Amino acid sequence: MPFLIALLAPVFWGTTYALVSLYLKDMSPFWVAVWRALPAGILLLVLRPKLPHLPWRKIILLAFCNIGAFFALLFIAAYRLPGAVAGTLGATLPLMFILLAWVLDRQRPGLKWLALGLLGLSGVLMLLNPSANLDPLGVACVLLATLLIAQSSRWMQRWDVGDLLTLTAWQLFLGGLMLIPLAWFMAGPPQLPPTTAFPAIAWLAIANTAVAYWAWLWSLRRLGPQIMGMLALTNPMVAVSLGVILVGESLDLQQWTGIALILSALLLMKLPARRWFNALTAKRDPLAKGDTGA
């Protein structure tokens, strides 16, 4: 059951590209970000009207990293990169966790998690359209957004965050408020969604944001950043699959091979290793079982 809940976040996030392509193309992506975050935060605050357990400075920091700055960086990248490139670069999350643990905690990367992270990333890279143009600023924005998620995930695992639903609600509410000035500056006054887009906005706000962010926080506390980073590889895989099923895109042999590599990395994550491999991993990687203070 914990793994099923953990998969809700990357699977629901993977629906974003197809949803926007089918129903939200005519809306400003910045106002879509506001309508995605702010209603989700308000809904959760209605369900759990409590003050956060964390000090306000930490709540504001998490809201900025996870919602405000994260969404802003992604939408800047969306103007400068094809969606497939942004999704692929976002799949560097497992390696970001390893890098931060190495640099900040002096924990040398474990062979198992480093190998699985590289295997999964190689699969995601094979999903990428080889003709896509890489804009340096766009690439930097996606990598910085992924780094913010990795660091804020470490904080949320270390800090006594209290009730996770309350934490999710305040992050989304405050992050949504932070996005309003950016959206107004970039796209003008607020754009209300047309009635035909209400189902898509409702999915984005409820499933894609409220439920998915709560599932991410809940799973991060129970499974650890290494496992959650690996499960995040399902995000681009779902996005590409829905592009084929709903948007009419097609995959070639290279891209199907990439999906197979991602699935292999996820399966190997759960398979028991040999004793010598376990011993090596335990010595070099205290995060291997997901019991980490990162």
pLDDT tens series, the chain, 294 aa:
778 898 898 888 888 877 877 888 788 888 888 998 999 999 999 999 999 989 999 999 999 999 999 888 877 776 666 555 666 666 677 777 877 877 787 777 677 777 877 777 777 777 665 555 567 787 788 889 889 988 998 888 888 888 999 999 999 999 999 999 999 998 899 877 888 888 999 999 999 999 999 998 898 888 887 788 778 778 777 877 777 777 666 667 777 787 777 777 767 766 554 543 454 455 455 444 444 433
The two three-digit tokens of residue 27, written as one number: 């809306």
The two three-digit tokens of residue 175, written as one number: 């992050």
Residues 165 and 162: their CA atoms lie apart, in Å, by 9
pLDDT of residue 67: 92
Q: Is 268 helix (H, G, I), strand (E, B) or coil?
A: helix
Residue 3, amino acid: F
Separation of CA 44 from chain center: 20
Identify the CA nearest to 112 among candidates 13, 227, 250. 227
**Pair 179, 67: CB distance under 8 Å:** yes
The two three-digit tokens of residue 158, written as one number: 């270390």
pTM of the shown model: 0.78
Q: How many CB atoms lie within 10 A of CB 123?
A: 24
pLDDT of residue 279: 46
Give whole-number Cα distances, 67 to 70, 124, 178, 201, 210, in Å. 5, 24, 8, 17, 12
**Pair 44, 251: CB distance under 8 Å:** no
The two three-digit tokens of residue 219, written as one number: 């799973």
pLDDT of residue 203: 93
**Pair 205, 40: CB distance under 8 Å:** yes
pLDDT of residue 280: 45
Q: What b/e readout covers 3-26, taking b as 16+ CB neighbours within 10 angstroms?
A: eebbbbbbbbbbbbbbbbbebbee
Domain boundaries, the chain: 14-284
Degrees to nearest 5, angle at CA 130 with 128 and 132: 85
pLDDT of residue 125: 73
Structure-token match 């934490």, residue found: 167
| Number of residues in the chain | 294
